[in-house]
Structure 1
Amino acid sequence: MSEVKLAAETRTEFGKGASRRIRRAGQVPGVIYGHGADPVHVTLPGHELLLALRTPNVLLALEIEGKKQLAIPKAVQRDAIKGFLEHVDLLLVRSGEKVNVEVFVQTEGDLAPGAYLLEHVLNALPVEAEATHIPESVTVSIEGLEAGASILAKDITLPSGTVLAIDEDAVVLQVLAAQAEEAPAEGEAGEAGSEA
């Protein structure tokens, strides 16, 4: 799991105007909460935060007013058109603490020969893991699977210390038979039109 160090500054200005000023200065407004403490409103370096968030379930080592705290992203708001970060909610965590997160499901291998489609029923798997050891993803072999085959949550090997936070019989992946589109025969199309 990646740990990224960021310097955060507490902020006392709130509202849309203040948030716009923060973003114009290359910063991102955010809130840090958890462990029963009052939420702390902060500004974070925009570019560094954007790079950090490219890693799924990144662990952020924040330095706020000389104190070091660990946090994970809980909610990230982006501009719908331009994609820049508008706001981030961070959850405080401690080493050894368990948290519920979602980890991406990656596949390896090839399906059995033939025209099959692989459906990702779940793109991410809900798990409980130690805050400082959250896996970035889990990998599932689809080698040789045929139409009708399913991979359930319980079939996925999880890293040590990580447990499912979902029904173990939940379908994660399933293999479907590809359906060829059949063009209507010329006679059938003509008959349908003459019946109307």
Structure 2
Amino acid sequence: MAEVKIQAESRTEFGKGAARRIRRDNKVPAVLYGHGTDPVHITLPGHDTMLALKTANALLLIEVEGSESLLALPKQVQRDPIKNFIEHVDLVIVKRGEKVQVDIAVHLEGDAASETLVVLENASILVEAEATHIPDGVTVSIEGLDAGAQIHASDLQLPAGTTLAVEPDTLIVNVTAAATAEQLDAELSEAEAEAGIEKDEPEAAEAGEPVSAS
């Protein structure tokens, strides 16, 4: 994974008011910590940070004027729930060659057998890898899999140097038979009954009353 160089500024103002002023200047308040160092409060350029964090587990080379450059991974990214802009970033300092644990995405490729339902039980998986060689994700082929097939963490083909950080029997993909129309109707009826929804039955014709055949 390529390093993304970001020029940061030291930050001496704290609190909600200071954070709002920083964001008004299209910048992002952030903190660097890890490896036994005191937290370093910095300000990041908003646009560059937004672009860098579009990549999961982005490896950032933080350059602060007057200080040594530091490699860091995003630990927590806070976003505005409505506008989705970045409000704050927690960054953990890493060293070249050290192992870190991160979640990587699971991507499916191919098509399972007809009349099956593919359930991705875990869209990401925790792995251990060198901080400078974190894979973008892992690809899983479901081509031709029949109902009843399962893929576990131990079945994943991880890149060299990357190892699982979860139990090997963790279920990743589960292939089941697709529900029939009758099963769906039965499930719907059961759900309606539990919710207390009663269907109106068609009124029967009274005795002696002619029934239209149209």
TM-score by length of 1: 0.91
1:167 and 1:35 map into 2 onto residues whose CA distance is 27
| 1:177 lines up with 2:170 in the alignment | no
Other structure's SS at 1:161 match: coil
Structure 1 partner of 2:111:
110
Which protein has greater RCO, CA pairs closer than 8 Å, 6+ apart?
1
Structure 1 partner of 2:60:
60
Which runs of at least 4 in structure 1 moved beyond 4 Å after TM superposition?
none
Count of matched residue positions in the alignment of Structure 1 and Structure 2: 188
Where do 1:1-196 residues align within 5 Å? 1-66=1-66, 67-112=68-113, 114-182=114-182, 183=185
Q: CA deviation at 1:70?
A: 0.4
- Determine what percentage of the aligned residue pairs are the same residue: 58
Other structure's SS at 1:43 match: strand
Q: CA deviation at 1:65?
A: 2.1
1:89 and 1:50 map into 2 onto residues whose CA distance is 14
Structure 2 segments unaligned to the other structure (5+ residues): 187-198, 204-214
Assess if the C-alpha contact under 8 Å between 1:115 and 1:177 holds in 2: yes
Higher Rg: 2
1:46 and 1:179 map into 2 onto residues whose CA distance is 48
The AA in structure 1 aligned to 2:55 is T
Q: CA deviation at 1:180?
A: 2.8
Structure 1 segments unaligned to the other structure (5+ residues): none
TM-score by length of 2: 0.84
Assess if the C-alpha contact under 8 Å between 1:2 and 1:55 holds in 2: no
